[in-house]
Amino acid sequence: MITRALILPCALLLLLGSMSCGKNNPDQIAQNEIRELLYNLSQDFNRKDMARIMDRLHSDYLHKGMVSWSFNQQWLEHMGRFALLDIEVLFIETQDNKAVVHSVNTFTSSIETLVLTEPETVGDISYFIWHNGQWLLYGNQEWIR
């Protein structure tokens, strides 16, 4: 027979156990931080704050031959063409200090919509590295692909 004296302590233990599962898992912490970074990046895009977006790039950014200067130019063109960016993160692969984000990125304006399935389509905001205590866009580190 279960008494009231046992129910409360057991319920508290279950609650504490379930709350601590995701908080101490380094992989889950990394995924949450990357999701937040991408959300903030989309908000920066929507506010047309290119400087803030560039703050999210690693100094050694390289993606399919595109360095940070090229990234800046490409995203300024996107900002001129589209009003909004929505990033739907599907899943994130992490390994050591690197991560790859699989997402659907939707750029919209009053006259057109561009939907990119990443990293397969362009992938310029899909590759990350943990550097100096934060996740940064890193690119795939390839000159051609």
| Separation between Cα atoms, residue 89 and residue 103, nearest integer Å | 4
Q: Is the pLDDT of residue 19 over 80?
A: no
| Separation between Cα atoms, residue 109 and residue 40, nearest integer Å | 19
* β-pair type (62-63, 134-137): unpaired
| Separation between Cα atoms, residue 24 and residue 16, nearest integer Å | 12
Q: Which residue has the higher pLDDT, 145 or 124?
A: 124
In percent, how much of the chain has pLDDT > 90? 81
Q: Is the pLDDT of residue 14 over 70?
A: no
Q: Which residue has the higher pLDDT, 18 or 93?
A: 93
53: CATH: 3.10.450.50
- Quick one: pLDDT band at residue 144, thresholds 50, 70, 90? confident
- The amino acid that residue 67 corresponds to is V
Query: Domain range holding 97?
Result: 25-137
pTM above 0.85, yes or no: no
Identify whether 59 is part of a domain: yes
CB atoms within 10 A of CB 63: 26
Identify whether 3 is part of a domain: no
Question: What angle is formed at CA 79 by the lines to CA 77 and CA 82, rounded to 5 degrees?
Answer: 105
- Quick one: pLDDT band at residue 12, thresholds 50, 70, 90? very low
* Domain total in the chain: 1
Looking at the DSSP assignment, which residues form a beta bridge with residue 60? none
Contacts for 25-31 with beta carbons within 8 Å, 24 or more apart?
A: 27/94, 30/92, 30/94, 30/99, 30/130, 30/135, 31/92, 31/94, 31/99
pLDDT, one tens digit per residue, over 46-95 is: 999 999 999 999 999 999 999 999 999 999 999 999 999 999 999 999 99
Identify whether 12 is part of a domain: no
Q: What's the pLDDT score for residue 13?
A: 46
